[in-house]
Amino acid sequence: MRIALVGPFTGPSLAGAFAFPESAGPLPPGYPGAPLMTVLAKALVARGHEVAAITTDYATPIAELEPFRSFAGRDIRAYFCPQRPRSFRSAYGRRGRMLDFFRYERDCLRRAIADFAPEVVHAHWTYEFAWAALDSGVPTLATAHDSPLKVVRFTPNMYRLWRYFMARRVLARCRHLTAVSPDLERDLRDLAPGPIRVVANPIAEEILRSPGCVERAMDSKMLMMVLNGWTDLKNGATALHAFQLARRADPDLRLVCFGSGFEPDGEAASWAAGQGFTANVEFRGPTPHALILEKMRTSMALLHPSRWEACCMSIAEAMSVGLPVIAGQATDGVPWQLDDGRAGVLADVTNPQSLADAVVALSRDRDRWNGISAAARARARELFAIDPVVDRYVALYASTLPPSPAAVAVAAASA
C-alpha cells in the first residue's frame, strides 16, 4: 500500500531511522515533538509499504521550502513544507498563520500529498494536517491526539480558541477517525460523523525490549519530570511544591526536570527560585530523547502532574522501561494508561501534599515499587506494542478505500 503519513515529524528522528543520501544535505528541523510518527513510519516500511512522511517546519526560511522540499531516502520519502513563524502578527511580509486557519500551510501540505500520490493518507492531529489531508481528495484516516475543548479550557488564549474552531470543522468531516485513548474517544464522539476507534500511540520495539530499570534504580532517590510547557495544564508548579514537601520526610530525594520551560534559566526555574523551591532540583530543559530514556532506566519514579492527557508518551515510555509513574487520579487518559493504579501510582495532582505523600510512600516500599515496575512493563506491552497498533491501522487504511471493481461486481451479482 502507498501511504502518506501527515503530521509532526522531526528531521533528526527521520535521519536517525532511515538512510538519506549525503548529497542532499541534512534534513530540515521539521516539526518538534515526540518520535512516535517516525516509529509508525519505520514499522510500516518494515512491512513493505511505500511511505511518505509529510510535515511542516517553521524554523527554516519559507523561501527555502516553498511549496515543499522532498528528500528521497532508501526506504521513505520525506516532505518538509513551510510554516509561517507567527500565529497572528505579520512576519516577512506574510500575515499570521492563524488569521486564515493555516491556509497557506494547508495548500503546501496538499501539494506535497499530490506529489507523492498515495492510495491513503493517515493524518495526525485534527488541525492543519488532517484538514489538508481531507482536502486532498485521497481516502483519509485521521488520528486525534487531543481534546480541543479541554485544551482551550486549560490554556485559555486566543490561539487555542481559534485552534478549537479549526478542530471542530475538521472533526465534522472525519468519516474515518481514531483516538489514542478511551477518554479522548468519549470527548470527541459527538463531534465526528461516525464511530471512533481507539488505537493507542505506539512505542518502538527496542524500548519495549530494553533491559528496563537498573537493579538499584529505586535507591537512587531520583525523581524526574518530562513536561513541555510551563502552563497550568502541565501543572509543574504543583509538582515543584510537592517535591519540597516530600523532602521534609526524605531530604535525600532529588528531582530532574526536562522539557521546554524547564531550562536552567527558564520560567520554571525562575518561579521555583522565587518560591524557595530549588533545593535538590535540577533544571535541564529540552533534552535529546535517548538521554531521557537512559535517565528513566536509572531513576526512582516519573512525577507527572499534568491535569489532562490523551495518551501521554512520557508516561508510556516510563512504563515501557518499568519506571513507576506518579500521576493524576482524575487526569483524563492517565488512569487508563496506569490500569487504574495497578501499573502506577494515582494521586490528586491538584494537591501538593497528596503528591508528596505518594512520592514518600513509594520511596519506602520496595515490594510495591518492584510490583508496579513489573506491572507497568506488562501494561505497556499490552497497550503500546507496535505490531498490534500497525495491524489495526493497516486494517483501517483498507476500510477507507473504495471497493474494487471486482468487489462491486460480486456484490451486484449477489444482489
Looking from the CA of 317 toward its CB, the CA atoms found within 13 Å total 24
Residue 411 has pLDDT above 50, yes or no: no
Q: Once rounded to an integer, what is the mean pLDDT over residues 265-279? A: 98
Please answer whether residues 34 and 66 qualify as being in contact, where contact means their C-beta atoms are separated by less than 8 angstroms.
no
Residue 76 CA, chain-centre distance (Å), reads: 21
Place of cell 526512582: 300
Measuring CA to CA, which residue among 89, 362, 107, 115 is closest to residue 217?
Answer: 362
Using CA atoms, how far apart are residues 386 and 333, in angstroms rounded to an integer? 19
Please answer whether residues 132 and 110 qualify as being in contact, where contact means their C-beta atoms are separated by less than 8 angstroms.
yes
Confidence of residue 404 (pLDDT cuts 50, 70, 90): low
What pTM was computed for the model? Answer: 0.93
Using CA atoms, how far apart are residues 258 and 197, in angstroms rounded to an integer? 32
Q: Once rounded to an integer, what is the mean pLDDT over residues 322-346? A: 97
Give the strands of the sheet with 69-72, arranged side by side. Answer: 69-72, 77-82, 50-57, 2-6, 120-124, 140-144, 177-179, 196-198
Using CA atoms, how far apart are residues 400 and 150, in angstroms rounded to an integer? 29
pLDDT value for 234: 96
* DSSP 8-state assignment for residue 59: S
Q: Once rounded to an integer, what is the mean pLDDT over residues 323-327? A: 98
pLDDT value for 412: 47
Mean pLDDT of the chain: 95
- For residue range 152-179, what is the model confidence (pLDDT) as tens digits? 999 899 999 999 999 999 999 999 999 9
Confidence of residue 415 (pLDDT cuts 50, 70, 90): low
CATH of span 207-384: 3.40.50.2000
Residue 408 has pLDDT above 70, yes or no: no
Confirm or reject CATH 3.40.50.2000 for domain 2-198, answering yes or no: yes
| CATH 3.40.50.2000 in the chain, residue ranges | 2-198, 207-384
- For residue range 176-194, what is the model confidence (pLDDT) as tens digits? 999 999 999 999 999 999 9
Measuring CA to CA, which residue among 368, 333, 373, 371 is closest to residue 349?
Answer: 333
Peptide bond into 67 cis (omega under 30): yes
| Longest CA span, the chain | 78
Q: Which residues of 141-165 are buried (b: 16+ CB within 10 A; e: fewer)?
A: bbbbbbbbebbbebbeeeeeebbbe
pLDDT value for 410: 46
- For residue range 34-69, what is the model confidence (pLDDT) as tens digits? 789 999 999 999 999 999 999 999 999 999 999 999
Q: 142 forms bridges with which residues in the sheet?
A: 123, 177
Confidence of residue 24 (pLDDT cuts 50, 70, 90): confident
Q: Once rounded to an integer, what is the mean pLDDT over residues 320-340? A: 97
pLDDT value for 215: 87
